[in-house]
């Protein structure tokens, strides 16, 4: 089995080696394979961009890590609707998988974070759904690399052709129907497969990485003083040996970061001619900063979230944080909720309930934890909610992680002095 698998890989690689000549006829699978062997396609800026290179770029790492961590830490519950209202469905299998244990080796936080990171980085995140005899989900087994999966459409049905390396190092090949694959998609052109941000924004990412490498090489290899040596007229070095000796002596004394900006001693009438180093130029610094902002634009993250506070103020930072939740994180939360409902609920659980006018079960991430204000703001909010009768005291205690055992805390109350405007000034009947 292993020999056959590697033979298929090698055959595809050999066929696709002449990328420039065959690029128009390569399938998506062959392009992925070629890039895997080649270490990523080279950009116009001269750097190769692949998953590892993208994660080593600080702005991209921060955006991907921020979104995946924030989604992973959100409280989750599966709810059941009824005529009396909604209640947490503690014993529903999907509630257990998403809140307690998705599989035998991952916590819910790690599972959600990893799957979201796959979708942000490669456009797709996959987990195999294991079901019991009642068609209820019992495990969500993460597929470690989205590149292991190829999507096929057969008779208007979606199937997933998987060739993966298991955690124990063994190879496994199997085909899954869409009902048995938890598929978290990124932005898509066909609604079936997500688009890789690396593929579509390779040049933008490559430009930022190239600027980073330029700075690294300058400080690591350059003789970091702001000029060069000019010999006086009529004086010159007589031989290549003298040039090499001077060059070596100069390199040994002044090359490297720890020797930057040291003072050279000149002899025989030589003069020091100052020059402007490009890494000191405002344009170079601005280009590096702008590269980070472009990565934010790709992932829809406000610049202050990657610690670029150049345009943030004390007056707008709170509103920018609220915008981040609504504009950046909420689309990913909605994507998760809809995939959970579609793949982890049976048809009878998704069915329309005439009593409520909505489906019986539904998943919900609580974004409120990211929008909590300071203690004073929360106290004013809770006070208004309790006094106006749309929250009770035990609900407030639950939101603040206090014990919900307040005597009479489940009762809803309003202020007695509130009355209709038409009754103001008139005595109320007893």
Per-residue pLDDT of 105-123, as tens digits, reads: 999 999 999 999 999 989 9
Please tell me which residue, 425 or 14, carries the higher pLDDT value. Answer: 425
Integer angstrom CA distances of residue 49 from 185, 200, 428: 21, 11, 76
What sign does the dihedral 304-306-310-314 (CA atoms) show? positive
Most confident of 110-119, 288-297, 354-363, 380-389: 110-119
Task: Give exposure, 137-163, as e/b (b: 16+ Cβ within 10 Å).
Answer: bebbbbbeebbbbbbeeeeeebbbebe
CA distance 185 to 335: 8
Per DSSP, helices labelled H in 108-258 are: 108-122, 197-200, 202-221, 240-254
Q: Where are the domains of the chain?
A: 1-36, 225-276, 372-430
Over residues 393-421, the pLDDT tens digits come to: 888 877 776 766 778 777 887 776 665 55
Predicted local distance difference test score (pLDDT) of residue 107: 95
Length of the chain: 430
- Cβ atoms of residues 220 and 284 within 8 Å: no
CA distance 162 to 176: 8
- Specify the 3-state DSSP secondary structure of 369: helix
With a cut of 90, say whether residue 200 has pLDDT above it. no
Structure tokens at 348: 């009878």
Cα-based torsion angle of the residue sequence 309, 312, 314, 320 in order, rounded to the nearest 10 degrees: -110
Over residues 275-320, the pLDDT tens digits come to: 555 555 544 455 555 577 888 888 888 888 877 776 666 566 667 7
Nearest to 147 by CA among 159, 128, 165: 165
What pTM was computed for the model? Answer: 0.70
Q: Is 268 left (phi over 0), alpha (psi -120 to 50) or beta?
A: left
Predicted local distance difference test score (pLDDT) of residue 379: 80
Over residues 29-42, the pLDDT tens digits come to: 555 555 555 455 66
Over residues 207-260, the pLDDT tens digits come to: 666 666 666 666 665 545 555 666 677 666 667 776 677 667 767 776 665 666
Please tell me which residue, 328 or 271, carries the higher pLDDT value. Answer: 328
């Amino acid at each position: 089995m292993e020999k056959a698998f590697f033979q298929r890989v090698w055959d595809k690689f050999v066929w696709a080696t002449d990328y420039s000549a065959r690029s128009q006829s390569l399938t998506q699978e062959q392009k992925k394979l070629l890039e895997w062997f080649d270490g990523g396609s080279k950009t116009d800026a001269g750097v190769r961009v692949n998953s590892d290179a993208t994660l080593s770029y600080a702005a991209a790492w921060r955006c991907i890590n921020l979104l995946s961590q924030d989604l992973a830490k959100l409280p989750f519950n599966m709810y059941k609707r009824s005529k009396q209202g909604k209640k947490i469905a503690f014993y529903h299998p999907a509630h257990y998988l998403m809140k307690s244990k998705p599989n035998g080796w991952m916590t819910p936080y790690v599972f959600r974070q990893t799957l979201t990171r796959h979708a942000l980085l490669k456009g797709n995140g996959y987990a195999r759904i294991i079901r019991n005899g009642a068609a209820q989900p019992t495990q969500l087994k993460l597929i470690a690399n989205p590149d292991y999966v190829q999507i096929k459409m057969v008779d208007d049905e979606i199937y997933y052709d998987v060739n993966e390396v298991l955690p124990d190092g063994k190879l496994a090949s199997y085909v899954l129907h869409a009902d048995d694959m938890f598929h978290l998609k990124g932005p898509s052109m066909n609604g079936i497969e997500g688009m890789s941000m690396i593929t579509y924004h390779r040049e933008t990412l490559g430009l930022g990485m190239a600027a980073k490498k330029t700075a690294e090489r300058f400080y690591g290899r350059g003789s970091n003083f702001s000029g060069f040596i000019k010999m006086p007229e009529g004086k010159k070095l007589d031989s290549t040996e003298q040039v090499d000796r001077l060059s070596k002596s100069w390199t040994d004394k002044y090359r490297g970061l720890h020797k930057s900006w040291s003072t050279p001693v000149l002899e025989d009438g030589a003069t020091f001619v100052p020059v402007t180093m490009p890494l000191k130029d405002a344009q170079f610094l601005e280009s590096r900063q702008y590269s980070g902002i472009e990565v934010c634009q790709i992932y829809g993250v406000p610049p202050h979230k990657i610690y670029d506070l150049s345009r943030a103020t004390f007056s707008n930072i709170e509103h920018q944080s609220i915008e981040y939740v609504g504009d950046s994180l909420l689309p990913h939360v909605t994507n998760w909720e809809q995939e959970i409902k579609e793949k982890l609920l049976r048809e009878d659980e998704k069915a329309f309930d005439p009593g409520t006018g909505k489906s019986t079960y539904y998943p919900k991430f609580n974004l409120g934890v990211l929008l909590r204000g300071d203690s004073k703001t929360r106290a004013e909010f809770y006070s208004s909610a309790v006094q106006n009768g749309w929250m009770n005291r035990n609900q407030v205690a639950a939101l603040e992680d206090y014990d919900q055992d307040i005597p009479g805390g489940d009762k809803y109350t309003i202020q007695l002095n509130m009355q209709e405007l038409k009754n103001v000034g008139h005595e109320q009947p007893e």
